[in-house]
Amino acid sequence: MNNLCADIGYNSLNKYGEELCGDHVEIIEQGENSMVIVLADGLGSGVKASILSTLTSKIISTMMAADMSIEECVSTIAQTLPVCSVRQVAYSTFTIIRIVGGIEAEIIQYDNPKVIFLRDGENIDYPSEALDIAGKRILKSKVYIKEGDILVALSDGVPHAGIGVTLNLGWKMENIIEYIKTFCHVGFTAKTLTTMLLDECYGLYGGKPGDDTTVCTVKIRRREPMNLVIGPPSNPADCNKMMSLFFSKEGKHIVCGGTTSNIAAEYLHKPLKTKLEYIDKDIPPIAEIEGVDLTTEGVITINRVLAYAQDYLKDNESYREWSSKRDGASLIARMLFEEATDINFFVGMAVNPAHQNPNLPINFSIKMRLVDQLAECLKKMGKKIKVSYF
Amino acid sequence: MKLTVCIGSSCHLKGSRQIVEQFQKLISENHLEDKVELVGTFCLGSCQTGVSVKIDETLFSVAPEDTKAFFEREVLPRL
C-alpha cells in the first residue's frame, strides 16, 4: 500500500466502415490501489468481433478480480466463446495488466502486441515467462512500478497502421516506442497520450483504418487530492462550518461562485480581487484570494467545464481549447482532469434569489444537476469523488 | 474614482463583458486612465436589476446599449 495510483486512458478507432469496434477494454478496481485492466481484440471485425472481445474482457476481468488463476480464466474463455461459423475457431487475443497494491504490475499477454513499458522516458525490456495453457502460448511478466512509469497496451491495429497506405510494413513497434518517448516526459495524462497515439494511427491509415485500433495507456502517478466548493450553504449560519471543513482538506482548493468567493474571502480575512480579463468571451473573469488556488464564477464556468468533461470522455477534441487557455473553465478543467486523482466537492444548497428569474437560463436545479453530472464524468475518468452537501 | 462592474453569473449573462469593453474604450478615448480605476466584482446582490455598476459606493443599473450614455451622464460629471 502506498499513495501511488494508476491513471488509465483508453480509446479505439473503428475499422473503416464499421459501426462497432472489435476491440474492448474492461477495467475492474479492487480496493484502493489494485485493479485489473483487460484489452481484448476479437477475431475479425464488426459485431462478431465485438461480442468476442466484450465476452473475453468481461470474463477475464471479473475472474481475475475474484483472484482466480490465469489458467482458470483462459480455459473458461476457451470453453465459453462462441465458435465462428466461417473460421471454426473461437478466438480473441488479450492483454491483462494487473496492478497490485500500487507496488507491482503483472502483465499477461496473449497474441497482442507486446505491452510497452517506459520508465524515466526509456523503454524497459522486461523479462517474461511463457506458459502453455489449453494449447495457447501466454506470456507472463511481473514488474515493480514506481511513480512516472507508463504502460501502453495496444491492439494489432496500431502496428498495422499504414500498411500499404503510407508504410510498407506498418508502424514498427520500435517506431511506436520512439513516438511515445518524445511525449511521455511532458506530463500528459494517460488519456491524452492515448489520443495522440490514435491520432497518429488515423493519419497513417489515411483516415481509413484497416483494422480496429485500440490504445490503453496506464500511467503510475501519485495521488493528488483536490477540493472544490460551489454555492453558499442553505443555512447561512453554516458558512463557517462549511469553510473550515473545506480549507482543512489536504490538496488544492477551488472556489466557484460569486457569493461563495465572498464567503471564502471573509473566512480567510483576505481581500477578493476580481480580474477584468475576458480570455474567453463567454466565461466570466477569474478572481484571486490569498490562500485559494483558484477562484471563479459559478454556474456558467462549471457548465463549460462539464462540456469539456463530456468531450474528454468521447473524442477529447476540445483538449486543444482547455489545455492551454487561462480562463476559469480551462483552469478548472486542467486541475480536475489532469492534476487531481481524488476530488472533494462541497456543494452549498442555498437558492440564489437572482437565479429564480425565469428570463435567465440558470436556476437552482440546473446548478445541482451540473455538479452531479460533472461528478459522474470525473468518476468515469477514474477519479475518486466525494460530494458533500451543505 | 472607482468604477466597479459586476461580473457575477447573472450580470455576465446580461452583458457585463460588453459594458467592461465599452468602459475600457471610453476611458482610453477620454484619457482618463489616471482618474478612473475600472475594476470587476462578483455578485453585488442586485441581480434582478443588473448589470450592476458602482461609481465609488453608489449602485447603478446599466444595460449594455446604454453604456456610453451612462458614462457621459454619470461618470464624466463626477470627475
Q: Is the pTM of this model over 0.90?
A: no
Handedness of CA A306, A3, A348, A296 (dihedral sign): negative
Domain ranges for chain A, please list them. Answer: 4-222, 225-389
Using one digit for the tens of pLDDT, what is the confidence trace for A224-240?
A: 999 999 999 999 899 99
Measured between CA atoms, the residue of chain B closest to residue A275 is: B40
Pick the CATH number of A4-222 from 3.30.70.260, 3.40.50.300, 3.50.50.60, 3.60.40.10: 3.60.40.10
Using one digit for the tens of pLDDT, what is the confidence trace for A101-117?
A: 888 999 999 889 999 99
Give me the helices (H) in A8-69, please.
Answer: 46-65
Q: Is A276 in Cβ contact with B40 (below 8 Å)?
A: yes
Q: Is B16 in Cβ contact with A284 (below 8 Å)?
A: yes
- Closest Cβ opposite residue B7 in set A297, A354, A357: A297
| pLDDT higher than threshold 70 for residue B73 | yes
Measured between CA atoms, the residue of chain A closest to residue B20 is: A276
Given this model, what pLDDT does residue A69 score? Answer: 86
Using one digit for the tens of pLDDT, what is the confidence trace for A152-204?
A: 999 999 999 988 777 877 898 999 999 999 888 777 889 889 999 999 999 99
pLDDT band of A354, cuts 50, 70, 90: low
Using one digit for the tens of pLDDT, what is the confidence trace for B40-58?
A: 888 887 877 878 999 998 9
Residue A231, chain B, CB below 8 Å: the answer is no
- Give A279's contacts (C-beta < 8 A, 6+ positions apart): A285, A325, A326, A327, A330
The complex scores an ipTM of 0.75
Q: Kindly give the pairing relationship between strand B37-41 and strand B2-6.
A: parallel
For residue A83, whether the previous peptide bond is cis, meaning omega lies within 30 degrees of 0, is: no
Q: Which domains does chain B have, with CATH numbers?
A: 2-78 (3.40.30.10)
Residue A356, chain B, CB below 8 Å: the answer is no
Measured between CA atoms, the residue of chain B closest to residue A356 is: B48
Looking at beta carbons, which residues of chain A come within 8 Å of B47? 352-355, 357
Mean pLDDT score of chain A, rounded to an integer? 89
Q: Is B9 in Cβ contact with A297 (below 8 Å)?
A: yes
**Cross-strand bridge partners of residue A289:** A272
| pLDDT higher than threshold 80 for residue A243 | yes
